[in-house]
Amino acid sequence: MKNPATSRVIGSVALVFGALIVGSATHLPAVAAAEYQQWAGPQVAATCASSGPCMQETNTKAGAGIEGVSNKGNGTIGQTKFKSTSTNGAAGVLGQDLSTQGTADSGVSGTSTLGTGVQGTSSSGYGVRAGSIATSALFSESTYGDGAQIIGDNNDGTNSSTNNNSTNDGIGRSGVWGHDDTTDGGHLNYGVAGSSVNGTGVIAVSTNWIGSDVIGGTVAGSFPDFTFYPALSVVSNNDNVPMDILDGCSGAGPCSNGNYVVRINGIGDEYLTGELFTAGSCSAGCAKTRGAGRRVISYASHEAQPTMEDVGEGQLVNGRADVALEAKFSTVIDQGARYYVFVTPEGDCDQLYVTGKSAIGFSVRESHGGRSNVPFQYRIVARPYGSTSGRLPDVHFRGGHSHPPVLR
């Protein structure tokens, strides 16, 4: 020690030992060791008026510069009474790493066997503040527990943002960046996960741009056994009721008050409040034209109940013809239900009628015993296989939600 505090400590210890010698020589009553500790301990405290430290220790070998140990209290207490400004501040404890080689040292290190390694609290400021110029300001890693656990009792658990100017540097950054770096080939991890008991699990909001941009999806396997993985997967909580798995709303959300413009439920039904347009391959909903790159809107007819239709041609021979249902068409219709056949002759003959309808075909006859040999066209209207939908079922609205029709 190289300051007045050192002299005080040595002087105090000398006085204590002197008192012990005198007391022993004069046969004074023995004083308990705890009382000596009370006399000697406070004498270490010292004050000074200096721009440098009041006390400084330097260890030129591998030991600690200062070690504080307490069996029942804090090992070391550091305090500052400096009235900080907006540009400078002081610390109760300042730990510095002044090494010029390697990156394994720490300015402050805290360890614990069962408790908390480092704890910071504040009544009105930051509990812990971390800053860095070239790398992550805060690095947290755990072998078996969460890398970080953050709880806000009356506010957000985490509030993070980016100040990156993407207009100037052309690079997009994120307020939160979560990623799964495992390479074992499993698909159960999440880059970002959000959950809620009664609120919204994840919300995406943008004032002047896209609220949520989803990129992903792939194809696995080889032809013809391909497996397609979508860019966006939406799953309903309830498998027994055709709950909505996707709602699109107009106005403020979430879509819970019947203000939807599009709905898709868990059994694949889709409901639109507007019209459906497509500019794809024109397999449905639009029609190709002979003009290069030109398409026109086509319209679908409305039916009172689900139907499966087929058309074909036949030939009367002496006023008679038997028509077999095409094999593929026969497998997609309800063979136990009635179907309808409409015939149109393509030549001069008496009226034609249909008879002998069965699960495998039907017969066409000319009226009044006619014996014409003219061709004819036919159209079959049948009920689809497995269809249980009723005729013009109602769509019921309950509790602000539109519910799919009851299947009969």
Mean predicted confidence (pLDDT) in 246-253: 78
How confident is residue 262, by pLDDT bands cut at 50, 70 and 90? Answer: confident
Examine the pLDDT at 18 and tell me if it is beyond 80.
no
| 4 against 62, higher pLDDT | 62
Mean predicted confidence (pLDDT) in 326-348: 96
Phi-psi sector, 162: left (phi>0), alpha (psi -120 to 50), beta: beta
- Strands (E) across 156-301 are located at 218-222, 225-229, 244-249, 260-265, 270-272, 286-288, 295-297
How far is Cα 259 from Cα 248, in angstroms, rounded to an integer? 8
| 405 against 174, higher pLDDT | 174
| 199 against 32, higher pLDDT | 199
Please, where are the H alpha helices in 215-357?
327-331
pLDDT of residue 278: 65
- For 36-45, the pLDDT digits (tens) are 445 444 445 5
Single-letter amino acid, residue 166: S
Is this model's pTM higher than 0.75 or not? no
How far is Cα 330 from Cα 382, in angstroms, rounded to an integer? 10
pLDDT of residue 401: 46
- For 107-165, the pLDDT digits (tens) are 899 998 988 889 989 888 888 988 888 888 888 888 888 888 889 899 998 989 999 99
pLDDT of residue 52: 83
Among 261-270, 321-330, 349-358, the range scoring the smallest mean pLDDT is 261-270
How confident is residue 396, by pLDDT bands cut at 50, 70 and 90? Answer: low
> How do strand 286-288 and strand 270-272 relate by DSSP bridges?
unpaired
Single-letter amino acid, residue 194: G
- For 213-240, the pLDDT digits (tens) are 999 998 888 887 888 889 999 888 776 6
How far is Cα 340 from Cα 324, in angstroms, rounded to an integer? 14
| 358 against 242, higher pLDDT | 358
How far is Cα 279 from Cα 288, in angstroms, rounded to an integer? 10
Averaged pLDDT of the chain: 82
How confident is residue 35, by pLDDT bands cut at 50, 70 and 90? Answer: low
Classify residue 255 as exposed, middle or buried by CB count within 10 Å of its CB (0-12, 13-18, 19+).
Answer: buried
pLDDT of residue 34: 52
Single-letter amino acid, residue 146: D
Among 4-13, 197-206, 234-243, 367-376, the range scoring the smallest mean pLDDT is 4-13
- For 38-87, the pLDDT digits (tens) are 544 444 556 788 888 888 889 999 889 888 999 999 989 989 988 988 88
How confident is residue 267, by pLDDT bands cut at 50, 70 and 90? Answer: confident
How confident is residue 282, by pLDDT bands cut at 50, 70 and 90? Answer: low
How confident is residue 408, by pLDDT bands cut at 50, 70 and 90? Answer: very low
**Distances from the Cα of 358 to the Cα of 354, 361, 385, angstroms:** 11, 5, 16
Residue 350: CB partners within 8 Å, gap ≥ 6? 366, 367, 368, 370, 372
The enclosing H or E element of 37 equals helix 33-40
Examine the pLDDT at 268 and tell me if it is beyond 50.
yes
How far is Cα 237 from Cα 244, in angstroms, rounded to an integer? 10
How far is Cα 372 from Cα 345, in angstroms, rounded to an integer? 10
How far is Cα 324 from Cα 287, in angstroms, rounded to an integer? 31
Considering the chain, what percentage of its residues have pLDDT values greater than 70? 79
Residue 386: CB partners within 8 Å, gap ≥ 6? 334
Tokens 């505090």 belong to which residue? 5
Contact 308, 383 (CB under 8 A): yes
**Distances from the Cα of 406 to the Cα of 241, 243, 267, 313, 401, angstroms:** 11, 13, 13, 38, 15
pLDDT of residue 257: 62
How far is Cα 216 from Cα 228, in angstroms, rounded to an integer? 11
The enclosing H or E element of 10 equals helix 4-25
pLDDT of residue 46: 66
pLDDT of residue 246: 87
pLDDT of residue 284: 59
| 362 against 302, higher pLDDT | 362
Nearest-5° angle of CA 392, CA 396, CA 402?
Answer: 115
